[in-house]
Each structure stands twice: as structure tokens, then as C-alpha cells.
Structure 1
């Protein structure tokens, strides 16, 4: 019974264009569509339902991990429709699950709307390229597109280290090995250290989650490899500061020097619901490490990075707020979405009011947004 139920839920998610399924005691199954949550018109789930649904798809070793640690993650394929990344966890003593749909097709750079210089950066022989943003901001899809681009266009040995593996890559022009933490290798940092003996050209690290992994990634870039990694940070300047601050004070000067010579780019992104309805669009902040930015990192003047990005638009760089405004001008996202995601909402609101004073949505945002942001919007 549970197997039939889970198949129906997975099918409904794909058919409705959903991105996630939430299974929790006390509610019907919930699907995230275009950033919003929608309850399915089925029964309210009880404890037995969530346990049965969990057991129908969760491998034995993951069920054991759930018993011992209260949480587990894994991935599985749903026929030819796509893969799901699953997080199972306990809350209030009950079992909950979140299933994230990983599309079966790779998206092109144009489809995702990635900045033009990224194709050239993916062909670089060495360096560290970071893709950052909050959970659910599309980092995995962006990185999968980059790896697929390399795989299709140049001959490289690509090693990915993921937990769990989400997008499956076939060998194309490149040779690709995908290692899963917990299955093929114990930790990210161990996989990174070992990979240097495996003749890699390109290394993807699913998450730079600790100091040891950051050190290994920087070292791999320094020794002549192209390394991609993710961080849960916001903005390019914030990403650089986050890495430096992760190290002890007596190592930070050395890390600034290493970053200034090995970091090649940071892409920070967030997903916004489309104004027209179903679907989402990514808004980006993008920094290429030019000699000017390299000097700012080395000299501990990262507070000037944003102004340097602002004045380097001719190189393809942009700040998040500028891209949000471009999406608003193109009528792709609403003014409320722009103000919600903007780094400087007060400045953004003033700009919108100045250039689009007749936007009908402006009349609806005053009191609510004022409380949210602590702004005087009158």
C-alpha cells in the first residue's frame, strides 16, 4: 500500500511541476510549486503513514542511521522521470520526510540565465570557483550544468564528491567519477585528499562544510586543478569573508594570500517565483577575481569588493540587487519579491518608486513590508 502511495506522490510532484514533497504527521502531503506550498487533497497523514512511506523507499542502512542519529539522507531514481534527494528526520518523536526532485535533463547556461563569462571560466586549467546561496537556491542545478558543459566540450578527468549524488553524469568527452560520501568515501575532506592521487583535472566538492574541507579544496586548486565548491553564504563579499573567518586568526593572512591567487570566481544565487505564475527564475551576484579584487582580498580590504563589482559590469560582473532590478524591469518578478530578496531594500524601494511610480503592487506593500524590514515606506 505504501509503495503505491509513494509512487503516486512522486508522480504528482512531477506532473504538477513541483520541486519538493513534504511528508509530515498532521497534514496531507505538501508539494512546493514555484516556491509556494500546496497541500494535496488526500488524507491527513498519521504516524503509521509517515513510517510506512519512509520504509517503502529508505534503504536498510539509512533506516539504521535514522534510528541511531535521528536523521538520514539518500538519493534514488524514480524510473526515467528523474531522481529524488531524500532527507528523513525525526520531529516530536515522529518521522518526517522531504523529497527534492532532481530533474533528469541538464539545463543549458542560457536556459538557467548564467552570466556569459562562466563558459570560459569552466575551461580554465586551475583555480577555485564557488557557487553559493541559501538552501534551495539552485546551486546543485547550476553546478551540474557546469560539469555537464565541461563533460561535453573538453577532455578532462572529472571527480565529484557529493552527499548524496544527485545528478548522474555519463562519460562524454570527459571521464567522470562520482563518489558519494558515506557510501564510497567517509568524508568530503578525505575524498579530496585521495582525489589528488587519481589524476583529476576537475574536482567538484558538494559542500565546503568544515575547515578541513576548505583547506583541502584551496590546496587542490593551488596544485593545478579546477575545483568547484558550494557554501551556504550570501553574496560574493560575504563568501570571501566566510572562508577567511573560518580559519584561526594566525592562519588568516596566509589564507588571504592563497585565496587571492587561487579563487577565480564566485556566483551567489537565489531563486525567485515568476510573476506570471508557475516556475522560478534565478537572480545572481557574480564576481570574477580580477587583479583588483585579488589585491583587495590579499590586503584585507574585502569591504571594497561590492563597489569593485559595481564598477566592473563591463567584465560581466553584477551585484544581486542590480540583477533583481533587471528581472523586475523585465516584469519577470514582482516588486514584493525584489524587496524581499534585495540586500538594500530601502534603496531598492526608492528606485522603484522613482522609476515605476504607477506599479499597482506598490499600494499593497506598505504596512506589511514596513514591519518586515523596519522601513518607513510612506
Structure 2
């Protein structure tokens, strides 16, 4: 029984001998596809996958999960099974099953009878040489237990965020690439607000990634012009919010409204796509926002990345080599004890268990706000941050390497882009 459950959850990367046998009737293929579809969603949920990838090939299709930022093969399936599975998913997502030459987007909810758990899926199809590529993103995961303490913040950084969240107004922006955990940090911040005081919180998201009791969550419709971020935000401000969360600040109109809200008695939480905390200011200026307004509204900018967390059951110690220390710009750390991943039953032989955040926090004090208003630029702001002892993303990565929370190879990804 255990072997059967493990196979359902972890699949079979040695897929050739485990493929479903050939069946003569179409009903058999439909049954196989339905069974595989149910197992697929359950396995992705149990493994906490963020995405499911179904890639057609000349023989069938390869199914992969993105777990902790890494793609892993779940199963290989025959062409007949893939065809039925693709049709089943498109029907569930209310897509046109006859349309196979154009990309389509949809979504559906799936309820697990066991435990009553529900997952929401966003579905995207893309025509390729051998058929439609299907990507499904798992959404609306419950947030019980999601706190700032579990995200990898140092005590100093967490105190800085909590200090902002106790304010009555101002703008906090999370920044980083797609998939870096920005929205997760915002949700953890919202849960802290709900735990500490009675506030009216409204969010504008695309899509809603988590469900939070006690929060009015508004999802924009990118397929039409009826509701975009700017329109939703403008309407929200008529509903007497204490806190507004924006899934993304995408343009000047949205940025202007967000900053105006932050200056008129509202707390505003949002995200941007930039590489550093200081670059938040540059990005807003590039959008057309006046520097003096940024200086007046922006109180906290947080750059974030995610690294895989070492499994504490099987990590093994070793000294950092001289060449490795040089490659991460800290030659003085040569000989320092670090840990490597190995793999065990607790982590599924991956050597890693979960992910941990890296953070760079810019708290805009009076002096730095004056520099922003005077348009002194990102380089000056970054230099002032370093002189004041503000840790960069790489600094935070090094600390987590030395403390045994992550591995050298994970930190090297950050150092390589430095």
C-alpha cells in the first residue's frame, strides 16, 4: 500500500516500464485519462507543486511538476492518454476543445473528498509541433500558519516590517522576479495585521493566489477592460479601506493612485519587478511618478529571492574551498564550515526541504527620502545603504550559507548575477 501511495505522489521518472498498457477502446483511454488527471492533481497538491507542465512529444507527453522552484518529472504518458487528458483539462477549464491552433487561458476548482481540501487551477494552453502544451498553476492555497517568522527574515528585518505594519499609512513595496515569493510575504504581512488589530483590508490580485478569511479579495479580469488594477483600486478607495494590497503595480496610473492612497491615510502594500530595493525608486520614476511623491509615500522597499533550504536530516558538513570563497566574493570565508545536500527519506532524496527567503530592506529615512526627492539616483541610494550596514541579497545569502540553511550551489546562483 505504501509503495502504491508513493508512486501516486512521486510518479515514476523511470517511466518506460510504468506506462499504461495499450488499450483498444477509446473508453479505456478516457478512463485512464480521468484516473491520471485525478492522481495528477492530488500528487501536485501533496508535493506542494506550484505548477504542472504537460509537454507533448512525438510519442506522447511528459508531465513535470515545479517543486521548490525546480522542475521534476512525474510521469511519461502515451499519445492516446495525452489526447484524452488534454481534452479533459480543457473541458474542466471551460476552454474550446476544438480550438488547437490558438493559445487559451482558463481556470477551474477541484475539491478533494478526503479532508475537503480545494485547489484552484489556472490553465494555459500553447500550440506546439506535437500538440498543445498545457501549464497549470496551483492557486488559492490556504494561509493558516503562514507567518513572517517562517519566511527566513532575520530578527532585525522582521522588526522593521512589523514596525511599518503598525503604522496607519504609507507604502510598502515587495520587489523581485516572478516566483520569488513576493506575494507570499505580503500575505504573511496581512495575517499579522489581522491578528493584531481590526482593520478593513481589500486586495486587488491577478490571480488570487491565497484565500484569507476576513479580507475582501478582488480579482481583475485581464481578458476584458471591465476591471484592471487602476479601475479596481480607484473603486476600492470608496470602500473605506485601512489597508490595500495590490498584486502588482504595472503602470503610471496604478502607481499614482497607490501613492495618493498612501498619502491620504491608507496603508498600501504592492509589488514591482526590479532587481534590488533601491531600484524600486528608479522603476517608479521610469513609470512617470514624481520623485517628491515617491519620497513622501514610500516607507519600505523589500527585495526578495528564494533559495532551497537544506534538509536538516541529511546535510553533511565540509569546509568552503578557497576557489568557492572567491567565487562568492568572500575570500576570507575559505575554510568556513558549510553544508552540502545528500538526500534521505525525509526529503525524497533531494537533499532539500522547502525554500527560504533572501531579503534586502530599504527603510526610507528622512535623509534618504531627501536624496530621492532630489533625484540623486539609484547608485547614491545603494551606496548609502551599504555605508549604513544594510545587508544586500548576497550578504543575506552568505549568512544563510554559513549558518547551514542553504548550500553553496544555491548561493552561487545569487553571486553569479551580482
Is residue 262 of structure 1 aligned with residue 293 of structure 2?
no
Separation in 2, partners of 1:303, 1:159:
35
Is residue 308 of structure 1 aligned with residue 339 of structure 2?
no
Identify the residue that residue 154 of structure 1 maps to in structure 2: 197
After TM superposition, give the deviation of residue 196 of structure 1 in Å: 1.3
Is residue 22 of structure 1 aligned with residue 53 of structure 2?
yes
Normalised TM-score (structure 1): 0.79
From 73, 88, 102, the counterpart of 2:124 = 88
Deviation per residue, 1:64-105 (Å, 9 max, x gap): 9x9897342546354444534424132437242132355323
Structure ID, larger Rg? 2
From 206, 220, 228, the counterpart of 2:247 = 206
Identify the residue that residue 368 of structure 2 maps to in structure 1: 293
From 7, 16, 39, the counterpart of 1:8 = 39
The count of residues paired between Structure 1 and Structure 2 equals 329
1:6-155 equivalent positions in 2, closer than 5 A: 6-26=37-57, 27-44=61-78, 48-49=83-84, 51-58=86-93, 60=94, 70-72=103-105, 74=107, 76=109, 78-79=111-112, 80-81=116-117, 83-92=119-128, 94-100=132-138, 102-106=140-144, 107-114=146-153, 115-116=157-158, 117-155=160-198
After TM superposition, give the deviation of residue 310 of structure 1 in Å: 2.4
After TM superposition, give the deviation of residue 45 of structure 1 in Å: 5.6
Identify unmatched segments of 5+ residues in structure 2: 1-30, 312-351
Structure 2 CA distance for partners of 1:343 and 1:268, relative to 1, 3 Å? farther
Separation in 1, partners of 2:244, 2:101:
32
Normalised TM-score (structure 2): 0.72
Q: 8 Å contact 1:31–1:39 — kept in the other structure?
A: yes
From 219, 240, 247, the counterpart of 2:281 = 240
Identify the residue that residue 336 of structure 1 maps to in structure 2: 409
1:347-362 equivalent positions in 2, closer than 5 A: none
Identify the residue that residue 188 of structure 1 maps to in structure 2: 229
Separation in 2, partners of 1:150, 1:68:
47
Secondary structure in 2 aligned to 1:236? coil
Deviation per residue, 1:207-261 (Å, 9 max, x gap): 11122211211121122211111112111112211111122xxxx5xx1000001
Two-structure CA RMSD over aligned residues (Å): 2.6
Q: 8 Å contact 2:206–2:219 — kept in the other structure?
A: yes
Structure 2 CA distance for partners of 1:85 and 1:271, relative to 1, 3 Å? farther
Secondary structure in 2 aligned to 1:333? coil
